[in-house]
Amino acid sequence: MWFLNQETGCTWEVTDQELMLRLQASGHYDQVEEPQLDETKQEAAQTKVQTVKNMKRTEKVQLKEEQEIANE
Per residue in 7-65, pLDDT (tens digit) is 888 888 999 999 999 999 998 999 998 877 666 666 666 666 566 566 666 777 777 87
pTM here is 0.47
Q: What DSSP line would sit under 17-63, residue for residue?
A: HHHHHHHHHHSSEEEEPPP---HHHHHHHHHHHHHHHHHHHHHHHHH
Distance from C-alpha of 20 to C-alpha of 58, rounded to nearest angstrom: 44
